[in-house]
């Protein structure tokens, strides 16, 4: 029976005092937590499997609260995400929930917000989605290809990245609707995806990400990607997940629910 293996970690990096990222793998969420070693979970291919990262906005109050709220809310509806419209509806509901929480009297969370990016693995296809600048990459023999859409302003000449986002979940004083990016891609055994916050994709070039994904298996790749971000200064929280669809013949490599 085909299955899905997810190797993931979340780390504050070297400069941030706390981790405001959150991670979703199926029913599991990891919020404001430090894991220097990748953890691996294995799921049968069948029921929709959600894997996502959320990056609380730095410089705003409650970034960790916003990312955790979105992670837990979207994880709760993950098995229901069978199509693009369902994913859009879930992300719009998350956006409203962030504004509602930020607007509660005495919360001190006014303006809190978060990005989100991930995939829903279905038999034969993957639903790729994002709001903000957290990313999803497809990894193939032809190389690493970004399949999410950055919600960022045009880059100035000579700049490779920017910390600004043009839309996110929450993030402003007054309610703003979002236009989630959601696409469907075909999926076959052997396909791999990398999902990450900009704590990885900003300091580490795509060429380096590609080399690591080509050279290593899932668990080692997750660890080496984290090491690359740390070697580049670890300027931000680092959260990533390597997702692979595998044939039944590989099932003994990762016992179900195992940690690496």
Angle (deg, nearest 10), helices 63-76 and 84-102: 140
Regarding beta strands 113-122 and 135-140, do their DSSP bridges make them parallel or antiparallel, or are they unpaired?
unpaired
Residue 185 pLDDT level (bands cut at 50, 70, 90): very high
Which pTM does this prediction carry? Answer: 0.93
Alpha-carbon distance values, 6 to 38, 56, 153, 195, 218 (Å): 9, 22, 31, 10, 8
Specify the CATH superfamily of domain 3-145+165-252: PPM-type phosphatase domain (3.60.40.10)
Count other C-beta atoms under 10 Å from residue 158's C-beta: 5
The gap from C-alpha 215 to its chain's centroid, in whole angstroms, comes to 22
User: For the CA atoms of the chain, what is the radius of gyration?
Assistant: 17
| The predicted structure's pLDDT at residue 253 | 44
Task: Give tens-digit pLDDT for 9-36.
Answer: 999 999 988 999 999 999 999 998 888 8
Task: Determine the average pLDDT of the residues in 35-55.
Answer: 95
Residue 107 pLDDT level (bands cut at 50, 70, 90): confident
Check pLDDT > 50 for residue 258. no
| The predicted structure's pLDDT at residue 250 | 57
Measure the CA–CA gap between 203 and 147, rounded to whole angstroms: 19
Task: Give tens-digit pLDDT for 151-174.
Answer: 998 877 767 777 789 999 999 999
Task: Determine the average pLDDT of the residues in 217-236.
Answer: 97
Check pLDDT > 50 for residue 140. yes
Task: Determine the average pLDDT of the residues in 183-211.
Answer: 96
Question: Do residues 147 and 137 lie in contact, with contact meaning Cβ atoms separated by under 8 Å?
Answer: yes
Q: Please indicate whether residue 163 or residue 238 has the higher confidence score (pLDDT).
A: 238
Task: Determine the average pLDDT of the residues in 221-241.
Answer: 97
Question: Do residues 226 and 6 lie in contact, with contact meaning Cβ atoms separated by under 8 Å?
Answer: no
Domain boundaries, the chain: 3-145+165-252
């Amino acid at each position: 029976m085909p299955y899905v293996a997810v190797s993931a970690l979340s780390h504050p990096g070297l400069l941030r005092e706390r981790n405001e990222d959150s991670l979703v793998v199926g029913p599991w969420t990891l919020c404001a937590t430090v894991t220097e070693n990748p953890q691996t979970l294995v799921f049968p291919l069948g029921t929709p499997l959600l894997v996502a990262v959320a990056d609380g906005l730095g410089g705003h109050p409650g970034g960790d609260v916003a990312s955790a709220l979105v992670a837990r809310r979207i994880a709760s509806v993950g098995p229901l995400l069978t199509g693009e419209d369902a994913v859009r509806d879930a992300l719009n509901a998350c956006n409203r929930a962030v504004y509602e929480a930020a607007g509660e009297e005495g919360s001190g969370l006014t303006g809190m917000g978060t990005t989100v990016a991930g995939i829903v693995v279905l038999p034969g296809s993957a639903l790729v989605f994002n709001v903000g600048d957290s990313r999803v990459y497809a990894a193939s023999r032809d190389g690493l290809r970004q399949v999410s859409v950055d919600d960022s302003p045009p880059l100035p000449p000579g700049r490779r990245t920017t910390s600004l986002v043009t839309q996110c979940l929450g993030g402003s004083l007054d309610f703003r609707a979002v236009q989630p990016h959601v696409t469907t891609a075909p999926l076959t055994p052997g396909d791999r995806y990398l999902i990450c916050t900009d704590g990885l994709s900003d300091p580490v070039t795509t060429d380096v990400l590609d080399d690591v994904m080509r050279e290593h298996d899932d668990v080692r790749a997750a660890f080496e990607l984290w090491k690359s971000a740390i070697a580049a200064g670890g300027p931000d929280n680092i959260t990533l997940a390597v997702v692979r669809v595998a044939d039944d013949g590989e099932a003994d490599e990762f016992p179900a629910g195992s940690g690496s």
